Amino acid sequence: MGQMNYQKASPNSGRGISASQWNGLLDMHRDLYNGGATNGILPPLLSQSVIAGAVLKDDVDDIAPFQPVRIVSTVNYVNVLDGPPSYVVEPVDATDGERHGNYGFTIGEGCTSGFGGRIVVSGIALVAVEALELYYDKQGEIREGNFDSSYYMVPDETLSTDLRPVAPVGHFKILSWYDASKVGAFESDKTLYIAIDMNQRPTSFLAKVDATIDATSEASEVITMSSGTAYAYYGVSESTAASDEIEVQKDEDAYEIEVYNTSGEAIPSGEHLLSYSLEYNRFIVLVAGGQTVKIGKADADIAVGATGTISIWRNGSDTTENEDADLDWMAGSTPVSAGKEVMITWFADEGIWRITGAECE
């Protein structure tokens, strides 16, 4: 669990491209542009995209072709009728700047010190990634199936420390992605390209929060939002659901995201509707749960004034979900024995589960 602070990451000058490939592209850039980067080759897919000039922020690493950049500021832009705008940019893993959601994507020449480059700021953009990142999951296993709702996650650790580029949620919508089983035929360091639509941003989705997220706090007119880990569920699947139902694929180990609580009440673990906030460049809980009641059985004896683990039951079966609950109110001197049926209630103002009813001893 964390707070909305800026996380540091190690510089990475060419994510998805090997050192030899990157050096070759730099040589190509110097030979082709020889001091300028305004009229180079443009992939046909990007012909309708909005492209701007870019220069590197001082003292940052060069940025490889077809990679995300963070837009820092605008270069003096006067000739609005006959010249493109230019921006100061930095790598997305730069650690000394303010993180925000203003991104661009380099094209064939990348962006280098002394030469500059060009960036896509709207429309379709291309991103170079290693094949390994498209067919292996974080455990090193080959992915199974496809994401029905695929997004590209900018790898600056703002939204996730997972840093896999293809996700069920993220910054920009991917037009289409490779079939994992087919990508596995490529060498792991093979450079592949995915096309993203920078104008399509994620809205709301279902995820499972794995632990209580504390309420926001305020001091000296500064609001601090706490965060926790959630597992994003996939998009709507083709299934046997009735016409008035939808089914959502889920794999709780598939993709971790960082989610923030914007409310004044603690948020319990469990399934919640989340949203991507452009203003904060963060995932936030869209609906706070309020008072929630669950039923289950005590895993072990719970003494009065102590906290015990409750196995949550639903529809007559053990869900394998567990919650820690306090036996500290209305209990008198009666403990709860292992295996006893209990009712627990979430007290959002205190951020705890409390045993509010129990089977007779």
Residue 106: C-alpha distances to residues 69, 120, 219, 232 (Å): 7, 6, 40, 29
176 strand-pairing partners: 195
Local confidence band at 127 (pLDDT 50, 70, 90 cut-offs): very high
**Tokens, residue 26:** 């730099």
Mean pLDDT across 202-227? 85
Do residues 100 and 70 touch, judged by C-beta distance below 8 A?
Answer: yes
Separation of alpha carbons 144 and 66, rounded Å: 27
* Tokens describing residue 273: 């509707």
Q: Rounded CA gap, 268 and 172, in Å?
A: 29
Question: Residue 110 is which amino acid?
Answer: G
Longest dimension (CA), the chain: 84
Give the residue among 109, 136, 93 at the shortest CA–CA distance from 41. 109
Weakest-pLDDT range from 150-159, 161-170, 196-205, 261-270: 161-170
Question: Which of the residue ranges 23-32, 160-169, 207-216 would you say has the lowest mean pLDDT?
Answer: 23-32
Give the model's pLDDT for residue 12: 41
User: What does the pLDDT read at residue 69?
Assistant: 94
Determine the average pLDDT of the residues in 268-294.
81
Which tens digits make up the pLDDT trace of 247-270? 776 665 567 889 999 887 788 888
Q: Could you tell me if 177 and 131 are in contact, meaning their C-beta atoms sit under 8 angstroms apart?
A: no
**Side chain identity at 1, as an amino acid letter?**
M
The pLDDT-based confidence of 63 (bands split at 50, 70, 90) is very high
pLDDT number for residue 264: 78
First to last CA, the chain: 37
For the chain, give the percent of residues with pLDDT over 90.
22
Nearest alpha-carbon partner for 158 in 352, 319, 7: 7
Residue type, 15: R
Per DSSP, the three-state class of 180 is helix
pLDDT at residue number 235 = 61
| Helix, strand, or coil (residue 356) | strand
* CB 142 within 8 Å of CB 180: yes
User: What pLDDT is recorded for position 170?
Assistant: 85
Please say if the pLDDT value at position 7 is more than 50: no
- Percent helix, strand, coil in the chain, to 5, is 5, 40, 50
pLDDT in tens, 31-49: 444 444 555 678 888 989 9
Q: At a CB cut-off of 8 Å and minimum separation 6, what does 1 contact?
A: 211, 213, 214, 226, 227, 228, 229
Q: Which amino acid does the sequence have at 108?
A: G
- pTM metric for this prediction: 0.70
Residue 166 vs residue 239, higher pLDDT = 166
Q: Is the pLDDT of residue 201 over 90?
A: no
Residue 107 predicted with pLDDT over 70: yes
Q: Can you tell me the distance from the alpha carbon of 74 to that of 52, in angstroms, rounded to the nearest whole number?
A: 11
Please give the average per-residue pLDDT across 229-250, as a whole number. Answer: 71
Residue 213's Cβ-side half-sphere holds a number of Cα atoms within 13 Å equal to 31
Rounded CA gap, 283 and 158, in Å?
Answer: 9
Cβ atoms of 205 and 233 within 8 Å: the answer is yes
